[in-house]
Chains A and B, each alone.
Chain A
Amino acid sequence: MEHIRTPKVENVRLVDRVSPKKAALGTLYLTATHVIFVENSPDTRKETWILHSQISTIEKQATTATGCPLLIRCKNFQIIQLIIPQERDCHDVYISLIRLARPVKYEELYCFSFNPMLDKEEREQGWVLINLSEEYKRMGLPNNYWQLSDVNREYRVCDSYPTELYVPKSATAHIIVGSSKFRSRRRFPVLSYYYKDNHASICRSSQPLSGFSARCLEDEQMLQAIRKANPGSDFVYVVDTRPKLNAMANRAAGKGYENEDNYSNIKFQFIGIENIHVMRNSLQKMLEVCELKSPSMSDFLWGLENSGWLRHIKAIMDAGIFIAKAVSEEGASVLVHCSDGWDRTAQVCSVASLLLDPHYRTLKGFMVLIEKDWISFGHKFNHRYGNLDGDPKEISPVIDQFIECVWQLMEQFPCAFEFNERFLIHIQHHIYSCQFGNFLCNSQKERRELKIQERTYSLWAYLWKNRTDYLNPLFRADHSQTQGTLHLPTTPCNFMYKFWSGMYNRFEKGMQPRQSVTDYLMAVKEETQQLEEELQDLEERLEKIQKVQLNCTKVKSKQSEPSKHSGFSASDNSIANTPQDYSGNMKSFPSRSPSQGDEDSALILTQDNLKSSDPDLSANSDQESGVEDLSCRSPSGGEHAPSEDSGKDRDSDEAVFLTA
């Protein structure tokens, strides 16, 4: 709290990003965990909550006659523009936020104060929902070829690996330790995924310290052990996910890649995925395009192309497809690495696993996949997503790219995934929110030291509890699309990869389809379930009555009112019924009505609107954040202003058009 220079500023304006002339007047609060904007308007008292950990950049812009503008860009792609009347207040808010958005200790993060009112037992159960030991068992391990190794107990060999690791049976501790010494950060080859059907496996590691000529007998034996663990194939693919040039450059630093001459029976392959710096810049460029105010189609397409973002997505997908094919079609095991083996390797292993195994396309399976390939194998969440103040060059949207790959696949295979787009969006949100402990720190070791499980809550339990929100209505466990490996077309179809506006423009509600097929179908399915129950009930009652009548008795059966089924509609017509800005070059044709504004930055989540409005992301925050003077747990946040003839729609802004 000592970092909050001013806890409250009045008469602040929140600018509508789409029609900047519209701004809501309200009060800005700074709390230990959130920035909160509460509108003055007595009808709505609309609240906008921003977690400090979501803040990516804060920009103080030149003061104008109306006040001092402050632009806050969030890691979940929300953009907030505030106008603060006094320069001094603006400066205080700015300085406070700069500090609040860059915590220096883990203890400052929201998850340590977040309390969803669960008792200790519930919290503990939450943490065991996703169990990796179970997952390896599900894969069919241990077996004749693979065993659980305790070589990394107490993180003795590699501090960024988990303690529980599967290695080939023939890989002795001596081989493992020897191999680990020949790999960057001692990340020796271990099993990531085992394909039961043909014994092929996906293994992962970091790059070998081969330099120009170094070799390591134990490392060579390690690869041989991997090959032998797959009796169906006489070679192993070694996939280096870096561009060849990058890998070669690493040799000068004593690192590099496997020399095919030194390793028996390997097939070596480069797959050019760019490094974290390229990816960071690419996202930056794409977001600049998303941020453009009324861009032309050319601006948008050019910008999208120049960002290179979709090309990078395709590169990751191509690598995943290559590995999935090698495993399922050629029956060959694959060792995947990049430099350290915690970014591109995690992306590629998890995409390949997702293609191969339908389990990972279920809700729980997807959580397991992230837990395994990302959390347990030491993806550096803290560094990549900037949870604590650190080197900005370490930040990169690595898991964002993986999440997008999953979305791209969902677009291709609409029935194959048990979960929906919202599930992905919420996971992305919470990777940055630090509301739950799952993604804290850079490794399992650090998380254990910090006693994360005793002090914070698990996101997986929270998502699982609300799973009905995340279901894909088109998913059926027995559907042919759900089974086995997902086969993507072999011909290069670049048009397959599309811009994901549901993610990168998700706070621009007006840009999204205004009626959700997913929500509609879920409502239908829910009603269907009720109907099934009622049908059964009716049949039983009819049977009873008929029996009774046959017996000529006059027992009057007690009736309960048949449940009424109101029509379902996923389409919120009030949102549907709001014009956009069609004026284009005609500057004077502002056209958004206030009712749309209500929808735009729906991060306010009181219990009342959890269900009704956009999925809650920072749920419960009003209860936990300890904001005392917020008398306004707005019950109206989720209501949409009545649409069509609402007097509000005919606002003065539109009249400008007439006089312009």
Chain B
Amino acid sequence: MEFAELIKTPRVDNVVLHRPFYPAVEGTLCLTGHHLILSSRQDNTEELWLLHSNIDAIDKRFVGSLGTIIIKCKDFRIIQLDIPGMEECLNIASSIEALSTLDSITLMYPFFYRPMFEVIEDGWHSFLPEQEFELYSSATSEWRLSYVNKEFAVCPSYPPIVIVPKSIDDEALRKVATFRHGGRFPVLSYYHQKNGMVIMRSGQPLTGTNGRRCKEDEKLINATLRVGKRGYVIDTRSLNVAQQARAKGGGFEQEAHYPQWRRIHKSIERYHILQESLIKLVEACNDQTHNMDRWLSKLEASNWLTHIKEILTTACLAAQCIDREGASVLIHGTEGTDSTLQVTSLAQIILEPRSRTIRGFEALIEREWLQAGHPFQQRCAQSAYCNTKQKWEAPVFLLFLDCVWQILRQFPCSFEFNENFLIMLFEHAYASQFGTFLGNSESERCKLKLQQKTMSLWSWVNQPSELSKYTNPLFEANNLVIWPSVAPQSLPLWEGIFLRWNRCSKYLDEAYEEMVNIIEYNKELQAKVNILRRQLAELETEDGMQESP
């Protein structure tokens, strides 16, 4: 098969692996079509299994005939392999380079991965749009499922099924689609059961410079308003950027045509600005030489936390409109596939207790990221070590996960999942044996037949044995809206992801374990006490019966 051609040297002995905080390991290095494996061939010593697709960049250097390959991974880990023999080293390096940059999706590992576990619940069917809609349909009859995009003809980046106002027919939707960027007509993102307010999302309206309008569009979004109520359009671009977009045929909702809507502009960055931010941040985290002050200024210069603050603030604003102002919200940026989704999904974390549970969060990712057409394939093709300038990479999803972590840190008892769950999702978005994050949209995933040919991440994660790793022992269902603080003092660096490989986490891991133990022991006792109470009660009633004739 094809891989064999790329693997010039499949095996090298006496390779030494260096990782921070671990002793060096000597062993045999093997390359397979999808993995780089280092085995010490001793019992109970660790082996390294690294997906080629997790490799972001490699460096090589030579001292005499000893070659060294430095592998920089998409999860920010950096490892070093010392390989004896210049030729072997060169061969290995070029194989890794080739295997980690395969063009064809169908050559990716998910298409070859055979699960070693029994699939109890097929994750591909865990979160069907119809089921999700049922949750709403008991509360409201103002919305309906539309199959207008069945063949992906109306909007290539939308799923086949979307939720739209009941009063708007498919014909109108087709018209609206022509007025919205990428055909992304406004659809329901979230229904706030408490007061019936909604979050909708879309692409930008294609008003252009001459202020084009679309009656159906106006009718559609007005259909979501209650009588006498006003709504908010949150544009995730600054007014300036939105105005410039008109020159390229884009634009924003003019007050004159949408009198019931107030427009708010926020400024969430996109694309290369975010990618550069990530590159700078990871560089700062990996630099161990600078003094205290340089660390802070590099952290500042990366702007990562500025992005976090901006995204969270916008999400809070949206949530506030819904919950406090009692007003519905339409959110879009340009395409409606990046900053829009960050805001809609974070607003739901704030507003909706269900999205803070494990299944609810999975459903949220399925709905607001995968189905909503976030182009994972493009955005996650490269990570912090990429040095080639490519236009489409951006850590949009990672920023979202970071924001969730920030809320989790502020409300440590309100989430059913823990930090590890977020880290796991980050890893799988960038490199995975599962097909979940492949492709850029539902239509691409359909064409790739991912459901038939690959395994869903959820099938694996939702096994009880896996779930236990990701369950937050502190969780106590909290049915309230949670309002995070967005003050800079409240938004620290997410060490669990950015300093993960640069610090010794032993003591923190021990603390987590201790926490689990405290809670487990309590539950154990609770169970024991309950059993004894019941026994005692039974014995006593027996007693009583014996007593009374």
Contact = CB atoms under 8 A, between A and B. Distances in A.
A297 to B, nearest CB: 4
Nearest to B511: A414
Nearest to B483: A579
Contact of B306 (A297, A495, A582): A297
Given A489-B503, A493-B502, A559 B540 contact: yes
B532 interface: yes
Interface residues of B, number: 82
B510 interface: yes
A489 B478 contact: no
A415 B300 contact: no
A584 to B, nearest CB: 6
A542 B532 contact: yes
B507 interface: yes
B66 interface: no
B305 interface: yes
B421 interface: no
B533 A494 contact: no
A576 B480 contact: yes
Given A573-B478, A580-B484, A511 B490 contact: yes
A545 B529 contact: no
A495 B297 CA distance: 12
B487 A579 contact: no
A567 B294 CA distance: 47
Contact of A654 (B325, B521, B522): B325
A567 B476 CA distance: 9
Contacts of B502: 493, 495
A513 B410 contact: yes
Contacts of B535: 542
Contact of B412 (A474, A517, A584, A654): A517
Given A554-B547, A654-B324, A658-B325, A299 B504 contact: no
B286 to A, nearest CB: 11
B376 to A, nearest CB: 27
B480 to A, nearest CB: 4
B293 A311 contact: yes
Contacts of B264: 586
Given A299-B488, A583-B317, A562 B481 contact: no
Interface stretch (A173-181, A259-267, A424-432, A518-526): A518-526
Contacts of B296: 301, 304-305, 310
A280 B492 CA distance: 25
B289 interface: yes
Interface stretch (B364-372, B447-455, B512-520): B512-520
A302 B413 contact: no
A122 interface: no
B528 interface: yes
Interface string A544-580: 0110010000101101001001010111010011111
B488 A297 contact: yes
A494 B290 contact: yes
A87 interface: no
A393 interface: no
Interface string B255-280: 00000001010000000000000000
Interface in A143-176: none
A476 interface: yes
B89 interface: no
B295 A494 contact: yes
Contacts of A650: 324
A518 to B, nearest CB: 10
Nearest to B492: A498
A21 interface: no
Contacts of B319: 579
Given A520-B413, A576-B482, A493 B288 contact: yes
Interface stretch (A40-48, A91-99, A371-379, A528-536): A528-536
B489 A545 contact: no
Choose among A512, A531, A539 the residue with the greatest number of B CB atoms under 10 Å from its CB.
A531
Interface in A604-660: 643-644, 649-650, 654, 657-658
A298 interface: yes
Given A311-B292, A535-B532, A517 B515 contact: yes
Closest 4 pairs (CB-CB, A-B): A300-B488, A414-B511, A301-B300, A305-B296
Interface of B: 230, 262, 264, 285, 288-297, 299-300, 303, 305-306, 308-309, 313, 316-317, 319-320, 323-325, 409-414, 474, 476, 478, 480-493, 495, 499, 502-504, 507-508, 510-511, 514-515, 518-519, 521-522, 525-526, 528-529, 532-533, 535-536, 539-540, 542-544, 546-547
25 contacts: A300-B488, A301-B305, A311-B292, A314-B292, A415-B514, A479-B510, A495-B295, A495-B495, A497-B292, A508-B489, A511-B485, A511-B487, A512-B485, A512-B490, A514-B410, A514-B482, A514-B485, A534-B529, A538-B532, A545-B539, A554-B547, A578-B483, A579-B323, A580-B486, A658-B262
Interface of A: 290, 294-302, 304-305, 308, 310-311, 314, 412-416, 473-474, 476, 479-481, 489, 491-499, 501, 505, 508, 510-515, 517, 520-521, 524-525, 527-528, 531-532, 534-535, 538-539, 541-542, 545-546, 549, 554, 556-557, 559, 562, 565, 567, 569-571, 573, 576-580, 582-584, 586, 589, 591, 643-644, 649-650, 654, 657-658
Given A298-B303, A508-B489, A531-B522, 11 more contacts: A297-B308, A301-B296, A489-B504, A496-B503, A512-B485, A515-B411, A580-B316, A580-B487, A582-B486, A586-B264, A649-B324
